[in-house]
Amino acid sequence: MMTLFGYWRSSASYRVRIALALKGIDVNHVTVNLRDGLQKDAEHLLRNPQGFVPVLVIEDGTQLTQSMAILDYLDRKFPNPALLPEDPIFRSKLLAASLVIATDIHPIQNLSVLKYIRAEHGQDDGGVKNWAQHWISNGFTALEKTAQQYETPFLMTEVPSLFECCLIPQVYNARRFDVDMDQFPKLSAIDAACQEHSSFIAALPEHQADAP
């Protein structure tokens, strides 16, 4: 059985949990407590020199890092149901929407960046909140325009895809930073549809064994 080193509140871990649930794959879950900084421990740095979660350890012992690369592995190895379609254009469009979150929102309001702007730029809780809200709203504004072009219950599709694996953890994060989701009605509707879906419910941070 594969082992997922993750953390209940980590967005990137949450993405992988959704994909595993969608594909019906059981894994061992091992927590790496980000609150206690255990991701920077020597033991975890051997798993991932970046000191990030998630890390997926597959049956042969290979340690896979970077959530989007883990999702690519899962989609190749366990293709049903697919996270991305086969058609190169459709696939690229769904991937691009996913990458708005995975490259242009999530890393900029990641824990290590928030720590840096507190320590080096003297930002307080308000400054940190402004920062997170700015980048989340920026990305969501662009995604909302894209989403408005489609009538489907999920982005461009009838079933959840890689995009929803990225969106739902980011919306969870947006709520933590008091982003007004009413600005993004279509993204909110996709989020609401996912909240009723068993795979997304199973992957919820509060439903994990390491949640307080």
Binding segment toward a second copy, per CB under 8 A, in 121-129, 177-185, 190-198, 204-212: 121-129
C-beta of 31: minimal distance to a second copy in Å? 21
145 is a contact residue toward a second copy (CB under 8 A): yes
Cα–Cα dist 193/148, whole Å: 16
50 is a contact residue toward a second copy (CB under 8 A): yes
SS3 sequence of 73-95: HHHHHCCCCCCCCCCHHHHHHHH
Which residue, 38 or 99, has its beta carbon nearer to a second copy? 99
65 is a contact residue toward a second copy (CB under 8 A): yes
Which residue, 95 or 168, has its beta carbon nearer to a second copy? 95
25 is a contact residue toward a second copy (CB under 8 A): no
Strand partners, 29: 4
126 is a contact residue toward a second copy (CB under 8 A): no
Strand partners, 63: 57
Helix, strand, or coil (residue 184):
coil
Tell me phi and psi for residue 4, to 5 degrees.
-105, 115
Tell me phi and psi for residue 3, to 5 degrees.
-120, 130
CB 187 within 8 A of CB 143: yes
Residues of the shown chain interacting with a second copy in the complex, contacts defined by CB under 8 A? 48-52, 58, 60, 62, 64-66, 68-70, 72-73, 76-77, 88-89, 91-93, 95-96, 99-100, 102-104, 106-108, 110, 112-113, 116-117, 120-123, 127, 130-131, 134, 138-139, 141-142, 145-146
